[in-house]
């Protein structure tokens, strides 16, 4: 048994900075901004306010004074939907061809934006439907971000 133990390499989980809770987290997120080129970040900045105005108009109008929680949730839905839509922009050096990825998975993410609109417009100024719309939009964004490596098609 000792021979078997000597032949196995020794591993120390604390020596791995990816699993060490005391290790600085800066290197974990170092590539987060490089994965999102400037054009996608700018698209989120431009699209999110426009989506917020459209979502608020489609679901009964502006209600900051009467329902601030609903307004905050609609703003989050707009931000998540804008991020989802920004993922379709082409990567730098890819020309003008949009980055659709796998067609079924890309369709699910795009439909989640439309579904969020539909859910919000079904019950104006209702916080529970805004939470549902946020869940739908987050699902679409997660689907889109996981698309390249997990799409079965």
What sign has the CA pseudo-torsion 93, 37, 138, 82? Answer: negative
User: What CA–CA distances, in Å, run from 94 to 25, 35, 65, 89, 126?
Assistant: 31, 14, 45, 10, 42
Task: Say what the pTM is.
Answer: 0.73
pLDDT in tens, 35-54: 778 888 999 999 999 999 99
pLDDT at 76 over 70: yes
Let me know: does 153 contact 104? Beta carbons within 8 Å. Answer: yes
- Domain range summary for the chain, segments of one domain joined by +: 36-150
Closest listed residue to residue 18, CA positions, set 28, 9, 10, 26? 28
**Contacts (Cβ under 8 Å, ≥6 apart) of 33:** none
Cα dihedral value 77, 82, 85, 91, nearest 10: -140
Confidence at 29, pLDDT banded by 50, 70, 90: very low
As a whole number of angstroms, the distance between CA 66 and CA 125 comes to 9
Confidence at 63, pLDDT banded by 50, 70, 90: confident
pLDDT at 31 over 70: no
């Amino acid at each position: 048994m000792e021979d078997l133990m000597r032949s196995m390499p020794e591993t120390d989980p604390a020596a791995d900075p990816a699993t060490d809770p005391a290790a600085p987290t800066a290197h974990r997120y170092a590539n987060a901004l490089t994965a999102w080129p400037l054009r996608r970040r700018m698209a989120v900045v431009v699209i999110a306010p426009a989506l917020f105005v459209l979502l608020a108009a489609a679901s009964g109008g502006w209600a900051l004074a009467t329902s601030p929680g609903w307004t905050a949730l609609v703003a989050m839905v707009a931000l998540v939907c804008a991020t989802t839509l920004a993922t379709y922009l082409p990567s730098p050096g890819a020309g003008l061809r949009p980055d659709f990825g796998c067609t079924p998975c890309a369709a699910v993410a795009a439909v989640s934006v439309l579904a969020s609109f539909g859910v919000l417009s079904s019950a104006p100024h209702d916080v529970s439907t805004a939470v549902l719309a946020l869940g739908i939009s987050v699902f679409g964004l997660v689907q889109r971000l996981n698309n390249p490596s997990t799409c079965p098609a």
